[in-house]
Structure 1
């Protein structure tokens, strides 16, 4: 793909500047968001299942240059995930 660099802006920079009086809202409104203490505890106390031995094995393989990536397996997993998302979306719409 070739990028065409023949773009020429039209008008002057002054003509393209927005009118600041019209772009600012007439009233100032502040929104506040807060999480409950329960929501905060869910995020901080969550222990993810991890196989630390497997993680160390993968780190060692990467460090030694033995770690190989299987692009076909990755592609198949991505396609399967996309199928799951589409089927869930279709089920909700029905």
Structure 2
């Protein structure tokens, strides 16, 4: 039998258990205060987006590079087992991109 864990004859919690529950309440409140402070840090710096960054963000927002209909067609073809991969086309694009990257680096020096 554990001491201090049994209820008293009238069914209420033992005095030791009641004292522990009361002692935990301020601790729980302090923990909650710390948690709230950690989740909402104070502002420590001002940040401004440059005009070039704003222009780049607005230009990239709707450049037409994402075609939802094309994605749906490809997805449907994959589901039906009709989608084929052209490995030669992929290899050609990779080589062309690598060459473009190398050329741009050579022109900078």
Q: TM-score, normalised by structure 2?
A: 0.45
Gaps of 5+ in 1: 1-31
Gaps of 5+ in 2: 1-44
Superposition deviation, residue 51 in structure 1: 2.5
1:1-94 alignment to 2 at 5 Å? 34=47, 36=49, 39=53, 43=57, 46-49=61-64, 50-93=66-109
SS at match of 2:61: coil
Rg comparison, structure with higher value: 2
The RMSD of aligned alpha carbons is: 2.7
Residues 81, 35 of structure 1: alpha-carbon distance in 2 compared, 3 angstrom cutoff: farther
SS at match of 1:72: helix
- Number of aligned residue pairs: give it: 62
Partner of 2:3: none
Mapped to 2, the partners of 1:56 and 1:74 lie a distance apart of: 21
Q: TM-score, normalised by structure 1?
A: 0.51
The structure whose residues are more often helix, as a share, is 2
Mapped to 2, the partners of 1:84 and 1:51 lie a distance apart of: 25
Superposition deviation, residue 47 in structure 1: 2.2
Superposition deviation, residue 48 in structure 1: 3.9
Residues 83, 62 of structure 1: alpha-carbon distance in 2 compared, 3 angstrom cutoff: same
Write out the 4+ residue segments of structure 1 that deviate beyond 3 Å after TM superposition.
37-45
